[in-house]
Structure 1
Amino acid sequence: MGNLAPLGQLTPQGTGGASLTRRQKAAIIVRLLVVHGADLPLKDLPDEMQAELTHIIGTMRPIDRATLEEVVEEFANELEGLGLTFPNGLAGALHALDGRISAHTAARLRKEAGVKQAGDPWDRIRALDVKDVLPLLEQESTEVGAILLSKLDVGKAAQVLGALPGDRARRITYAISQTTGVTPEALERIGLSIAAQVDARRGSVFDKGPAEMVGAILNFSTAQTRDDMLTGLDERDSDFAEQVRRAIFTFTNIPERIAPRDVPKVVRNVDQAALVTALAACLGGEGPEAKAADYLLGNMSGRLAEQLREDAKDMGKVKAKDAEAAMTDIVNTIREMEAAGDLLLLIDDEEEA
């Protein structure tokens, strides 16, 4: 009998909703929803609010059905009268505006207010691509690397392991056996630290990576300047030079970067005078510029292609300076179409589906 609760705690009390505080009513609603299997995101509440809610639920006595119905009706009426809610505090505001304000602004606000990124940091880390996980492993200790690897999905962990140098991969694999004693608190701290590194990389003040930035600059440079810069980059860092080449888009890249079906769209958007000038400078030649011109003409209507050929022929010889300016104008239009989402450039050797 000593294990039975006191009788007064088992007998429903007709207290009435008026005698309950708002927090007690909230505890009743939470308890009711949990009993009926609702998945409430209570862990998203501040720690002190979670603790207070737990304390209130633990100290409340049973209530009768009439009191329950009164509390539920009051709760439903408040919901119906609610027009608009706002997130609670800076953490909630940052979560609501995620992706709508710049990454570096969000990171600065979190740092200034001491607000951590919402949600489980390991969920965000698991969502990273393999190429984004590898730099994190390179700068972490073997022990932290083992924890990171063990938190990834099995398939992705195998890809990451296969991309690591053999010795590094063996050390991390062995270290996984030493991770069983890591506490939940330590695991969260490690996750927050790694997620902060990811945020710092994404929150760069630059919109493009180094190769993309150099490529964008060289897109607007003359052919001679572009060739000189790439030759110099080859001598200093051939890998970076190759990345820059992939980021560069010039008139000669049109055949491999623009799908045949998109050529008519490009032709409609480019300045016709620039197009005719570029064609006049290229037709009849055998270099990459001539191939680009033939590609454009070969993927538009026959009638339009014939008209452009006649216009280009009537123009006669074109100065090299004017030809390069016309090609640059066409390339700039294509880049603007890509930025606006009106055109998708193919990458490297990607084939049209």
Structure 2
Amino acid sequence: MSNQIGLSQRQKAAVIVRLLLDDDEVSGLDRLTADDQTLLAQEMVGMQLVDRHTRDAVITEFCDSLESVGVTFPGGLDGTLAMLGTRLSDDSSDRLQRAAAIAGKSDPWVRLCKLPKDSLIALATSESIELVALMLSKLPVEAASATFMGLSRDRARAVAQAMSMTSGVTPEALRRVGLVLLQAAEALPKPAIPTPATDRMGAILNFATADLRDEVLGALDERDVDFADGVRRAIFIFAHIPDRIEPRDVPRIVRELDQPVLVRALSGTAEADVAAADFILSNLSQRMADGLREEREALGRLRPKDVDEAMTEVVSAIRRLEETSQLTLRLPQDDE
């Protein structure tokens, strides 16, 4: 807007905003930066009375300015991505967000928090103890816990001790640390197959029969103990349910299953399978649990293959819920 009314540009903006505030349905001030919002509020504090002629002139000038506008753009990455929506590929969107974060135009911690576990562990293993302590302080608890568990015992102790020094860090320093860590993350090797080999092998063995799974793990133990341990940690089977599933999630899992499948899965005779069945039943309503027990007893003796297939369907249902973020598996314990 030109300046023919005797008011500064900020004062004119304050007049327009004051008029808009009378309309409860008008919003948008939150789109301004914090600095702009502060300047606008400060300008309004210093203003008291604007006569009707000046008000009308400001409105006329503002409307003339709007009419001269041909097209507008969001003026920021988030707004641009929202405007483009699904017309932009996920890869292109990711590249834009990554470039903006590295250039310091967006919060680097947003991208750092989305890094896969292996990348976070690689950063935590290679960066300085102080940076790692800040990273763990900023990450979501689950990601921080998984990263911490991936460290060697000596490094984990050092990071834990350094955590006490993170409380006094300033927002600007935390942002700089985030940029350093993000740049280091971008420099990490990008594997052609993103899923770790241990996770892939574990996922495959999830659906193998128990005897085949034990045979494969035994063979792996003979050739590469560390790899075998990693595969064991990646495996999630029916027997792991009491240690990896939250009690509150049991009813949600049961709703995903056909009742005959669930009844067969609860019929395992191995000690660990019996414990898993008891865990499931103990976290259902008494009426439902009693009904499932009665159906289980009525089945009589089942073929081991039928029981294994039913247990696999339970595990598949849990994995589906995990993939859609409807539940979160607890981290495996060292003795699993």
TM-score normalised by L of structure 2: 0.55
* Equivalent position of 1:254 in the other structure: 241
Separation (CA, whole Å) in 2 of partners of 1:125 and 1:318: 52
How far off is 1:332 after superposition?
Answer: 0.8
- Give the aligned length: 267
Separation (CA, whole Å) in 1 of partners of 2:227 and 2:60: 66
Separation (CA, whole Å) in 2 of partners of 1:127 and 1:87: 21
How far off is 1:328 after superposition?
Answer: 0.5
Q: Is residue 2:295 matched to residue 1:308?
A: no
Q: For the Cα contact (< 8 Å) 2:238–2:312, is it kept in 1? A: yes
Question: Which residue identity does 1:330 align to in structure 2?
Answer: V
Q: Is residue 2:307 matched to residue 1:323?
A: yes
Change in 2 beyond 3 A, CA 1:257/1:139 = closer
**CA offsets per residue over residues 97-136 of structure 1, 9 Å max, x none?**
799977644466799xxx664642896279857x857735
The one of 344, 349, 352 equivalent to 2:328 is 344
Change in 2 beyond 3 A, CA 1:316/1:83 = farther
Change in 2 beyond 3 A, CA 1:265/1:125 = closer
Separation (CA, whole Å) in 1 of partners of 2:256 and 2:271: 25
The one of 315, 318, 328 equivalent to 1:334 is 318
Change in 2 beyond 3 A, CA 1:254/1:191 = closer
Where in structure 2 are the equivalents of 1:1-353 lying within 5 Å?
39=35, 74=61, 78=65, 85-87=72-74, 93=80, 104-106=91-93, 117=101, 119-120=103-104, 124=108, 128=112, 135-136=122-123, 195-199=182-186, 208-280=195-267, 282=268, 285=269, 287-348=271-332
Q: For the Cα contact (< 8 Å) 1:219–1:250, is it kept in 2? A: yes
Q: For the Cα contact (< 8 Å) 2:262–2:310, is it kept in 1? A: yes
Change in 2 beyond 3 A, CA 1:275/1:165 = closer
Separation (CA, whole Å) in 1 of partners of 2:152 and 2:12: 51
Separation (CA, whole Å) in 1 of partners of 2:89 and 2:191: 10
Separation (CA, whole Å) in 1 of partners of 2:200 and 2:4: 68
SS of the residue corresponding to residue 291 of structure 1 reads helix
How far off is 1:310 after superposition?
Answer: 2.2
How far off is 1:344 after superposition?
Answer: 2.9
Q: For the Cα contact (< 8 Å) 1:103–1:202, is it kept in 2? A: no
Separation (CA, whole Å) in 2 of partners of 1:128 and 1:229: 36
How far off is 1:211 after superposition?
Answer: 3.3
Separation (CA, whole Å) in 1 of partners of 2:219 and 2:312: 23
Separation (CA, whole Å) in 2 of partners of 1:206 and 1:100: 27
* Equivalent position of 1:48 in the other structure: none
Change in 2 beyond 3 A, CA 1:198/1:340 = same
Separation (CA, whole Å) in 1 of partners of 2:154 and 2:103: 32
Question: Which residue identity does 2:297 align to in structure 1?
Answer: K
TM-score normalised by L of structure 1: 0.53
**CA offsets per residue over residues 139-161 of structure 1, 9 Å max, x none?**
79xxxx79x959x68x89xxx9x
Separation (CA, whole Å) in 2 of partners of 1:345 and 1:287: 22
SS of the residue corresponding to residue 331 of structure 1 reads helix
Q: For the Cα contact (< 8 Å) 2:239–2:273, is it kept in 1? A: yes
Q: Which runs of 5+ in 1 are unaligned?
A: 1-13, 18-27, 42-68, 170-187
**CA offsets per residue over residues 206-247 of structure 1, 9 Å max, x none?**
564443333222212222332233334434443443333233
How far off is 1:88 after superposition?
Answer: 6.2
Structure whose alpha-carbon radius of gyration is higher: 1
How far off is 1:267 after superposition?
Answer: 2.0
Q: Which runs of 5+ in 2 are unaligned?
A: 14-32, 38-55, 139-147, 159-175
Q: For the Cα contact (< 8 Å) 2:108–2:179, is it kept in 1? A: no
Separation (CA, whole Å) in 2 of partners of 1:318 and 1:299: 24
Change in 2 beyond 3 A, CA 1:261/1:40 = closer
Separation (CA, whole Å) in 2 of partners of 1:198 and 1:192: 10
How far off is 1:271 after superposition?
Answer: 1.5
Percent identical? 38
SS of the residue corresponding to residue 39 of structure 1 reads helix
